[in-house]
Amino acid sequence: MTGSADFFEDLFRGLLQGTPPGAVYALIALGFVLTYKTSGVFNLAFGAQAYISAAMYFKAHTLWGWPKWAALVVSAFVLAPLIGLVLERLIFRHLRTASAVSKLVVAIGLSVALPELFNQAARFTAVAGRQITGIMPDGSSVFYDPFGVYRFNRDELAMMAVALVATLLLAALFRFTMIGLAMRAVVESPRMTEMSGINADRVSAFAWALSSTFAGLAGVLIAPRFNSLVSTDFFTLVVIAVAAAAVGKLVSLPRALLGGLGLGWFIAVFNTFLPRWSGDHTWLRPFQENLTPSLPFVVLFAILVLWRAIGREREASDPLSGVDPPPPALAALERHPKLTLFTRLFGVGFVAVVGSVVWFRAGVLWMHLVTTAVIMAVIYLSVTVITGMAGQISLCQGTFAAIGGFTIFQMADRFNMSVLAAALLGAGVAAAVGAVLSLPVLRLGGVWLAIATLAFAFFFDAVMVKFSWVGGGTTALLTGTRVPRPLIGPIDFASDRAFLVLAVVVLVIVSIIVIQLREGTVGRTLTALRGSEVAAASIGISAARARIIAFAVSAAIAGLGGALLSMHQQNVNYSTNFGPVNALFWLVIVVALGARTVEGAIQAGAAFALFEPLILKGDLLVWILRGEDHLPGLFPLSGSWRLVLFGMMAIQFARHPEGLVEHGKRRSAARINRWLEAREGAAS
């Protein structure tokens, strides 16, 4: 009898404990749904916005010594809506007719760029271990225990109160104000908007300001639960919000609210009971240890994959966009043969010059960096396949690469397998995982597919890596995940030069493969699908089959690249190389520089490894100016400008899906083309 009384008490305690974080999740989920419904933007940058408000609050209160209320007002009620307004006005207003997927890429670019932009602009660096305070005086040390089972501290009470008030205000706004009514009309029945003469710009600006305020509030409220202010923690927060919002299929505000609360409850109850059960059943223990941190992702993945209604809920195009036609696509360019010759010659010359400089002049450090660039180019070719060719956004390329690295680590470690064979095996395992993963997620398509891959990446990160047969378990913690360099006959690739040659050979082979695919049946099938899915089906193309192939090939390339990177570093270095948030930057840098072409991937690889030392640290300038002494005082620039720059460039994806650099190249090629033709015309 006491057993069941205990059970209910624990359940009740779990529910109480889960309410404050649940309230914050609900807050951010509400904001998320609001932006999605009014502007069709799946705003993954919400986490970045929440981070900025939290950091601003920390800076104002803790560093400047402002009173809490003033810090709160500035961070959540001034800065947050301002950011929302600026984003709407400068970016999303102009993307009304863009596809949901390209708007998602824009948001991903923002989520990479915004936190670093703030950090640089405000000269903010979070100090690890500094206590992050909540919004209440003595918030974490004064407790209330209304039911005698769980002690809420003041901050937790504030979380619930703020979320409650915000929700009530939102409801009142929807009910009683003109702009609220207009917004509700847009949210509930997009079709009505076109007819009823609602001012789309105003509604969308207002919705962005409002939802960004919610994000900012959530950021400030949740910050004390993190150990330090790192933007990646806040990115995780937005994934949780997506899970909550998915409960309402991203369309229903009340359900998003419930979803957020429910997720908070579920996590808390789960955390209460699982340790107890696994005390009785030891086989549950690894799950308990691994599953707890990844619960939101597991829930999200399960919702996406199992709930059939989600797939049918195709992405909302912008309800405010009216009937504008989509922007015209860039016409393919017919090149003058001379131009082709020139560009080929230039390319070969460039590679020859850079190659010989590296080969004859580079020291250990530069050899290392160039090798990294080459290997990253291999990995980025996997993005070329899945995003450039298949038009799908995969956010788990880091996971596929990690699978390659871990395979080679395990095989070499346990079975003493040949390293190159293990690398190929790793590519194969990654391909198999990619194919299996694609089965349930392909049905989703578009934005949902991207989110499912993101959830998978987080799941792998939180659960799979911990298993000893993947990440090496506890022994790996001590000795690291060591990977040897290959040895073929007399050639020992432990030499950095030899290894660079190996990496270049692999890059050339993979580049040729990608070009063959693009020109072959697979590439042309994917181009057809990207152009029009119904039309492709109408000539007998099976979208599922084509995309499974694309996923598997892309995963294999990523796996091979990941294996190569691990060999290069002689260690898998999972979290620095392959963590889920890193992979976001991969996508960003590739779409910024050109996702459709092999050159784009190579440029992205070079930019990833070399942009920081060459440009930001000023080494290129030192070389040009012949000496460190002449270097202007502002160098070295912070490496995070890299994130800002490429994040901002990725924002252009919606208008130039071929990549900014590629776009620029096409434009100047067209100009030279015209010039050549004009000259020829004059001559004849």
Partner 1 sequence: MTALLAASGVSVAFSGIRALNDVTLRVDAGERVGLIGPNGAGKTTLFNCLLGILQPDSGRVMLNGADVGGWPVHRRARAGMGRTFQRVELFSDTTVREHLLIAERIRNGSGALWKDLIGRGRPRPTEIAACDEVLELLGIDGLADQPVESLSLGQSRLVEVGRALMTGPQVLLLDEPSSGLDRDETQALADTLRAVQESRGYAVLLVEHDVSLVADFTERVYVLDSGSLIAEGPTAEVLADPAVRRAYLGSFEVS
Separation of alpha carbons 385 and 407, rounded Å: 22
With contacts defined by CB under 8 A, how many residues of the chain interact with partner 1?
33
Query: Which amino acid, residue 81?
Result: P
Separation of alpha carbons 305 and 315, rounded Å: 16
Contact call for residue 534 and partner 1 (CB under 8 A): yes
Tell me the closest approach of the beta carbon of residue 555 to partner 1, in angstroms.
14
| Cβ(593)–Cβ(602) below 8 Å | no
Contacts with partner 1 in 553-572 (CB under 8 A)?
Answer: 553
Contact call for residue 628 and partner 1 (CB under 8 A): no
HEC profile for 151-189? CEEHHHHHHHHHHHHHHHHHHHHHHHCHHHHHHHHHHHC
Tell me the closest approach of the beta carbon of residue 546 to partner 1, in angstroms.
10
Contact call for residue 517 and partner 1 (CB under 8 A): yes
Contact call for residue 252 and partner 1 (CB under 8 A): no
Separation of alpha carbons 311 and 175, rounded Å: 31
Contact call for residue 683 and partner 1 (CB under 8 A): no
Contact call for residue 172 and partner 1 (CB under 8 A): no
Separation of alpha carbons 152 and 16, rounded Å: 8
Judged by CB under 8 A, the residue of 382, 525, 582, 597 near partner 1 is 525
Judged by CB under 8 A, the residue of 63, 165, 192, 535 near partner 1 is 535
Tell me the closest approach of the beta carbon of residue 554 to partner 1, in angstroms.
13
* Residues 658, 664, 667: CA angle, nearest 5 degrees: 100
Judged by CB under 8 A, the residue of 177, 479, 516, 668 near partner 1 is 516
| CA atoms within 13 Å, Cβ hemisphere of 162 | 31
Compare residues 65 and 540 and give the one whose CB is closer to partner 1: 540
Contacts with partner 1 in 311-340 (CB under 8 A)?
Answer: 328-332, 334
Judged by CB under 8 A, the residue of 196, 542, 576, 668 near partner 1 is 542
The CA-atom distances, in angstroms, between 607 and each of 98, 420, 452, 554 are 27, 27, 28, 21
Query: Position of tokens 């990294």?
Result: 372
Q: Which residues contact 266 (CB under 8 A, 6 or more apart)?
A: 18, 295, 299
Tell me the closest approach of the beta carbon of residue 597 to partner 1, in angstroms.
12
Tell me the closest approach of the beta carbon of residue 446 to partner 1, in angstroms.
17
Contact call for residue 543 and partner 1 (CB under 8 A): yes
Compare residues 260 and 391 and give the one whose CB is closer to partner 1: 391
Separation of alpha carbons 251 and 313, rounded Å: 9
Separation of alpha carbons 10 and 5, rounded Å: 9
Judged by CB under 8 A, the residue of 340, 479, 521, 576 near partner 1 is 521
Which region, judged by CB under 8 A, interacts with partner 1, from 5-13, 146-154, 257-265, 510-518? 510-518
Q: Which residues contact 322 (CB under 8 A, 6 or more apart)?
A: 96, 194, 200
* Residues 409, 555, 544: CA angle, nearest 5 degrees: 150
Contact call for residue 82 and partner 1 (CB under 8 A): no
Tell me the closest approach of the beta carbon of residue 519 to partner 1, in angstroms.
5
Which region, judged by CB under 8 A, interacts with partner 1, from 171-179, 252-260, 538-546, 558-566? 538-546
Which region, judged by CB under 8 A, interacts with partner 1, from 38-46, 257-265, 537-545, 617-625? 537-545
Element (H, E) at 491: strand 491-492
Binding site for partner 1 (CB under 8 A): 328-332, 334, 513, 516-517, 519-525, 527-528, 530-532, 534-543, 549, 553
